[in-house]
Structure formats: C-alpha cells, structure tokens
Amino acid sequence: MNVMPYEGIRVVEFTHMVMGPTCGLLLGDLGAEVIKVEPLEGDNTRRLLGSGAGFFPAFNRNKKSIALDLKSPQGREAALRLVAGADIVSENFKPGTMKKLGLDYASLRQLNPRLIYVSLKGFLPGPYDHRTALDEVVQMMGGLAYMTGRPGDPLRAGSSVNDIMGGLFGAIGAMAALRRREQTGEGCEVQSALFENNVFLVAQHMMQFAATGQAADPMPARISAWGIYDVFTVRDGEQIFLAVVSNSQWATFCDAFGWQDWGADPRLATNNDRVRARDWLLPALRQRLAGHGAAELAALFERHELPFAPITRPQDLFDDPHLKATGGLAPVRMNDGHMAPVPLLPFTLDGERPGVRSQPPGVGEHTAALLRELGYADDEIAALQAKKIAGV
C-alpha cells in the first residue's frame, strides 16, 4: 500500500487492557504514528495469564512505546511535550485519573487547541458514569448476556465484544473529528463507552419488541425466522451448522438429497410453513442426516451453494485455508518473543489488508528516540533514566 490513509497523524495513547489499545490499533494499522505511553514496568497486559495472555500482541502492533513515570513532575512534563505535537490523544483510565495528572481534555486543549481527545470509558456521562465497568458487567446489564445464554442462565459472549467494538467506535469518532477539524480548524473531545456500545449491539432485539410488542427470547430458545437454521450432530458425533433460508434453497436442498416427498409436501411449501413445522421437521431431519459425515455434508452444501459451517475452535483458525490464502493472518511477536499469526483488520484497501508495519514494542523501546525528538539532550535523557522517570 503506497500511501496509508492516516500517514502523518500522530496519536499518543494512555491506554491499557483491550478497549483503549484497540482504538490505537485501528489508527496505527491505517498508517498513523501511534505512541503508547506506558508505566516503567510496562502495560499490565504484557504479563497477564489465561484469557488475557494474548491481549498485548493482539492489540499493540504498529505502535511505539515510551515509558514514563507520570506521577513525577518531570514525567508529566515529557508527556505534555509529546501531546503538544499530537493530533489525537486517547485514554481509557477510570474517571478522574487523567485530571489528577493534568492530562485531561480541558487541560490539554489549552496546550493544543487542534487536539482530538478520545476518552474510552465504561459509560457515557450520566447516572452510571461513576461505576467500574468491564465487558462482562455491561453484557449483563445491557441485555447481551440474557440473549446469549439459555433462559435463566445469562452467559457472556465468547469474546471481548464491547471492549473491541468500543475501541473501534472511539477510532471512528476520532476519524470524524479529524474531518471536522479540516472544516473548522479546531479539535474536540470524542467519547466512546462499553455500555452504550452494548446497547447498540442489542438494538435489534429492542426494536423487535417495539415492532411486535413481544419480548425477544434468548437466542438458544428463540423461534428462528427460518425453517432450517441449526447445529446438527451427525455420524461419529461430529457437528455442523446447516441453513436453508429461502424457498429456492429449500427446493435445491430437497433435490440434492433426493427427498421428493418433502419437496412436494404442502406443509413445507414456504419458509413460514417450515418454521411452523419445526416441531416435527427438525427431529425428522436429524434422523435423516444422522448417517452422513460432516465433511460429506459440507461438500454437498458447498456444491449446491447452500449455507453451512463447520464448528470451529479459535485455535483451528491458524490453519484455515481461506485466511492463509488471502493474507488474513500475519506474523506478530508474542510476549515471550516467539512469532505467531495474528488476524489483521477485516477489510481491504485496493485489494490489500492493512498489515503489520512494526511489531508490538518492547517496554520503552522508543523512549530515548522520542525524548530526543522532543528536545531532550542525551545527558538529560540519561538523568531521567537514572532517576527512573523514563524507561531505558
């Protein structure tokens, strides 16, 4: 890609975990210079175990790292010099933290009126904004866990959906603010929040109620809009998702299996007929499919252009032939130094996926170079490092 869309834009991020780093990830992948301000010991996600073990390499490529002690006056001074030349500042600390450091929007706009300040929080300003939010918290209070789990058993979605999408909406807000700055010459504050993101995700279920007066059932208990739209257990206990969602697909489906009895059955003539027949149709279909293998069914559905999906585990995606053939994965350095494929942004520009231009940085990897750029002499940098105000 010859010219990146946000080349020449400088982003300074005071972020950690997933939501804030995702905002910088999108801007960095699209060409912005993203500078991650870390404590001297580094972002805590560098050390997480279990479900957090992949956070740092997943969300911190295409960034530089400067390590500063922001609790010290000299560390804050270095941060202010950095912000003075920035286009965008992003942060996702709890309310009040940045104000205590003198790095809140009201303070920084005096220093840099063209600054776009992206604040990524649990809640937009209002009655809830004092609460501590996590992805799981807002999934529970925002209806998503209710919709994902079985009745009486709310269940969080199997990914950090609000953290990731909240970060993306923060980046979209920054892009909108950059466009507005072109028109007005002034920066502004952008706010994105987990709870409001979650509500946006469940809008379809809210509007179902508004349209019909009937509450949406949790997804495992819902009445499907389509006659065949389920996971089927087949030969040798394998599972596969199969769907037949239109009348033309139903005709193709019956022809593919040679099931003329169902193809001519007036009880199954339309999709709505098949929805009403699900109580007897699905058990009968499960019996008919039980002797078929999952690979055999996949091949048949693919040949006839019918929707299907294998039941895939996340680790299986490293070997997915489509992702490998289309460049959807690129090598990234993990916390322990070994390389592993990481998914890239899910779109192309002129047929190319925005890629990994630089690996996730080491803690303070760019501290000295950035401080020099800000006007610090080498002896001043050495003194800051000796006093543990700046990282090595």
DSSP line for 13-74: EE--TTHHHHHHHHHHHTT-EEEEEE-TT--GGGS--GGGTTHHHHH-SSEEEEEB-TTSHH
Phi-psi region of 329 (alpha: psi -120 to 50; beta: other; left: phi over 0): beta
The answer to whether domain 224-314 has CATH 3.30.1540.10 is yes
Q: What is the reported pLDDT for 131?
A: 94
Tell me: the pLDDT tens digits for 274-329?
999 999 999 999 999 999 999 999 999 999 999 999 999 999 999 999 999 999 99
> Would you list the domain boundaries of the chain?
10-201+327-386, 224-314
Q: What is the reported pLDDT for 223?
A: 79
Q: What is the reported pLDDT for 224?
A: 84
Phi, psi of 158, deg, nearest 5: -85, 30
- Show pLDDT as tens, one digit a residue, over the chain (392 residues): 678 999 999 999 999 999 999 999 999 999 999 999 999 999 999 999 999 999 999 999 999 999 999 999 999 999 999 999 999 999 999 989 999 999 999 999 999 999 999 999 999 999 999 999 999 999 999 999 999 999 999 999 999 999 999 999 999 999 999 999 999 999 999 999 999 999 999 999 999 999 999 999 999 988 788 999 999 999 999 999 999 999 999 999 999 999 999 999 999 999 999 999 999 999 999 999 999 999 999 999 999 999 999 999 999 999 999 999 999 999 999 999 999 999 999 999 999 999 999 999 999 999 999 999 999 999 999 999 999 999 98
Pick from 177, 179, 195: nearest CA to 187: 177
CATH number of the domain located at residue range(s) 10-201+327-386 in this protein? 3.40.50.10540
Q: Residues 6 or more apart from 314 whose CB is under 8 A from it? A: none
Pick from 138, 137, 158, 155: nearest CA to 147: 155
Tell me: the pLDDT tens digits for 317-357?
999 999 999 999 999 999 999 999 999 999 999 999 999 99
Structural contact between residues 364 and 38, judged by C-beta atoms closer than 8 angstroms: yes
Distance CA 180, CA 247 (A): 47
Q: What is the reported pLDDT for 1?
A: 65
Q: What is the reported pLDDT for 3?
A: 87
- Per-residue tokens: 350: 């002129």
pTM over 0.85: yes
Distance CA 196, CA 363 (A): 33
